[in-house]
Structure 1
Amino acid sequence: MSHRDGGLQGARTRRLIRDALIELVEERGFGDVTVGSVAKRALINRATFYRYYQDKYALVEEIFQEVISELPAELSPAGRISVQDRIVGWELLFDHVDRHHRLYAALLGRRGDPWFAARLRERCVDLARDRLRNVHGDIAPQAGGGMPAGELELVFAANLTLGAITWWLEHDRPLSARQMAEAVVRFATRGYFGALGLDVLPPGA
């Protein structure tokens, strides 16, 4: 858990620490980043780092909590919504990622932190689950026990979200946030075969 000194100096120090972490992850990968290297890059001593964070994982936890808190509420609206409204919601998500593209690229990329990716996936599942509850109410367990109905589909949706975000960042955001939103909604609405324009035989054909 981080300790937050108040005032502009504390905010400036945390920003220096965060920027140093991102730079080092880009250069050498999260696994090789140490508290000492972050402190050196941020031009502070280790004691100052520990004044704010227990370790590098606590730093990533704070980053995660802050960026997730900025996700627009429109991403999980109540009730059924139109395709166009879905596109607007996804566009807000990609706009959010675009604003923090360097941070997301560092922590979700090949040199990033698997913990960050896992937490983001969990958050995507939570958002999708809230959306499902808004439409259908509480999700009931499957007959005979096991995971709740629809849970596997929520995981599929979360992996689609992370995959789309990661591809977008790894390719230096070649499409606009709107184009990414339209592509994701098209895939989610039509499914794999439909989105690719492939013929699908009906069951039993």
Structure 2
Amino acid sequence: MRRALIDLVQDRDLPRISVADVAERAGVSRSTFYDHYRDVHELAEAACTAMIDDLVEAIPNPGTKDTPDTTTETLLTFFAHLAEHARLYRGVLGPQGSARVIDHVRRRATVAGYVGARRATTGDDAPSPVDYTARIPHDVPAAFTAGALIGVATDWLEHGCPCSPAEMAALTRPLLVALYRRDGRPTA
């Protein structure tokens, strides 16, 4: 069903996709659909989780001790991933998309930013899996970074990706870096 929804979103806006459409494309009954999901938006969140995790992993953490080149490369990876799956992300993150999926991305990006900044301030450079379900304290820089990147990404997608991923990385990097001091803490 997840693959069926991803295929359907390539051709039409998410709000125009019904449970019947997904069930037919997946070759299952509507009751089978409802055995697993409440609605198409819940399925969209589940279907996009792996891709969202890949996307979130590509979000740079300006609070880390990365070099400027590493931050630019990470942003390039982020925007290249968006460009590669532009129709899907435009469908689920755009104005006709799913508020649940947008919130899902925002929450995961905020957690990733929080964890990355904490690692940077403690000097822990060891990569470890991020627990995206963890409850984190209110962290304005992490939430700001997540919201800003999602805002820039959705605007870029809605406008048909007028700049290349490299250009987007170059435009976005100074904005993110300006938020943080060298020690990983937010600027005053």
2:83 equivalent in structure 1: 98
CA distance in 1, matches of 2:27, 2:91: 22
CA distance in 2, matches of 1:184, 1:63: 28
2:53 equivalent in structure 1: 69
Which moves more between the two structures, 87-96 or 49-58?
A: 49-58
1:165 equivalent in structure 2: 153
Per-residue CA deviation, residues 43-91 of structure 1 (Å, 9 max, x unaligned), is 7453485288423233212222120233485646895111221111111
Q: 2:18 aligns with which of 26, 34, 40?
A: 34
Q: 1:128 aligns with which of 110, 113, 123?
A: 113
2:132 equivalent in structure 1: none
* TM-score (ref. length: structure 1): 0.68
CA distance in 1, matches of 2:108, 2:56: 13
- Pairs within 5 Å for 1:46-195: 46-47=29-30, 50=33, 53-54=36-37, 55-71=39-55, 73=57, 75=59, 79-137=64-122, 148=137, 151-190=139-178
How many residues get paired?
165
Alpha-carbon RMSD across the aligned residues, in angstroms, is 3.0
Letter in 2 for 1:125: T
CA distance in 1, matches of 2:107, 2:142: 10
SS in 2 for 1:70: helix
Which moves more between the two structures, 110-119 or 58-67?
A: 58-67
Per-residue CA deviation, residues 107-139 of structure 1 (Å, 9 max, x unaligned), is 11110001111110111111111210111139x
Fraction of identical pairs, as percent: 22
Note closer, same or farther for the CA distance 1:57–1:91 as it changes in structure 2 (3 Å cut): same
1:34, distance to aligned residue in structure 2 (A):
2.6
Note closer, same or farther for the CA distance 1:85–1:33 as it changes in structure 2 (3 Å cut): same
